Chain A
Amino acid sequence: MTDNLTEKLILSVLGQVNDPALKKDIVSLGYVQNLKIDGSRVTFTLALPTPLFPSKEKMREDSERVLSVVPGVSSVEISMKTEIRMEPNARGVSGVKHIIAVGSGKGGVGKSTVAVNLAAIFSEYGAKVGMVDGDIYGPSLPIMMGAKNAELQQNERGIIPIEAHGIKFMSMGLLSKGSAPLIWRGPMAHKAVQESLLRVDWGEIDYLFVDMPPGTGDVHLTLVQTVPVTGAVIVTTPQDVGMTISLKTFRMFEQTKVPVLGLIENMSAYLCPHCGKQDDIFGNGTVAGEAQRLRVPFLGSIPLNKKIREYADQGMPLILVDPLTAGAYVDIADKLATEIYVRSYNKKTLIIEEEPEDTADAFAV
């Protein structure tokens, strides 16, 4: 009986399991790896193109379910791993698979905090994560990552990024210490951003988050002109009146063909530390409604939490210590990661072909 178990049979059964986001089966997507059949025991690895967020367990469970009814199978063992695929047009920053811009319409919406916690949650769930402090005028990453005294070093491949909480990051804040301000004109800002992206020895990075300055300006233009950005996330608060300001940021990404991967509503409600109840001090539902109107995904809401400031000042991303906040971020990160790989999957690589002279064409207009 057990002789009948063949790789072909197992793969055809697993072909019934779909990746819910792509609506394609996990075998033709290449997720099933290292398939081994030992008598009646089946083992394999599910290599997923996202970090292993809890929702991804469903593919494992579905696989176990379809295999459990196959005659001759006594046990199924499935391990999971992250195997993020390269953005089809990625080039420029070597070793970096995806560049994600985190932007906002105005300052003070908690963009850097959201960026740090997003990066931390991606890293927690198995991705290799990097961050660039694009806010060259008010760099906050060194403090938020708990590495404000770190010294940048260089090797023959470039600047060595600082590593904290498993995240590699680069910030102009590390170059100008303390309260000395960076007073730069456009061209300097342009150069600074290019250097923080290109002159860094990133090693291998799945997701590089770029914390953008608020609004639309030099840094934004430089970023979208220097590298192919996989997409952008826009952080806003429900109180950003009619979202008019964030809308400008949205249009800027649109004009430079950077897909907006979604909106995140920060400070959606106040969590009372005494009774634990939520209070929608800035209103509720406005951002989700706006996302629907703009036809971009609404990635989720993050409630205001007093601890966020305390931990940010100590250089500790809140998701690492507060399960409630972590929960909100896991949902957001899961949706974001899905959005990223679905888009990359459907995108074709754009190549510039070179063809020798064709005399007829030489006389084209």
Chain B
Amino acid sequence: MMTESNNPVAIKKKGNHSLEIKWEDGHVSLYSFRYLRQHCSCAGCVEEWTGKKTLNQDAIPLDLSGLKVETTGNYALSFSFSDHHDTGIYHFDHLRAICPCAMCKA
């Protein structure tokens, strides 16, 4: 479902390690690229029918970095990671849902 607040107003790629998104409702999310890579929902990382994660999150290198950030249509971001993975489409709703801040995790 489209919720208006799940629209970014500013996106900042901070070096190769983190990404900051400011949302319409003023909330700011800060993600490391490793965390984003671990939460990839592409068909290679999540089983399409069951939704089961097939990606071993711990196998993602600690020093994994993000090389490129691009918008996909009006509704998502896509990333190129240093492990050559780039097939994930991160819906804004998904990105908001996985915000790692203490408030969202609580």
**A residues within 8 Å of B by Cβ?**
89, 224-229, 254-258, 348, 350-358, 361-362, 364-365
Contacts and interface: CB of A to CB of B under 8 A. Distances in A.
Contacts of B30: 361, 364-365
Nearest to B63: A362
How many residues of B sit at the interface, in one of the four size bands?
20 to 34
Interface stretch (B12-20, B43-51, B53-61): B12-20
A229 B72 CA distance: 11
A357 B73 contact: no
Interface of chain A: mostly helix, strand, loop or mixed: loop
B41 interface: no
A361 B10 CA distance: 17
Contacts of A358: 14-15, 18
Contacts of A353: 10-13
Contacts of A348: 9
B100 A350 contact: no
B14 A258 contact: no
A356 B73 contact: no
A225 B9 CA distance: 19
A355 B14 contact: yes
A353 B14 CA distance: 8
13 contacts: A224-B74, A229-B74, A255-B1, A257-B7, A258-B74, A350-B9, A350-B11, A353-B10, A354-B12, A355-B13, A357-B14, A357-B16, A361-B15
B92 interface: yes
B17 A257 contact: no
A89 B74 contact: yes
A256 B32 CA distance: 25
Contacts of A352: 11-13, 69-71
Given A254-B2, A257-B2, A228 B71 contact: yes
Q: Which of A227, A258, A354 has the most CB of B within 10 A?
A: A354
Nearest to A228: B74
A228 B76 CA distance: 11
A89 B92 CA distance: 16
A60 B103 CA distance: 54
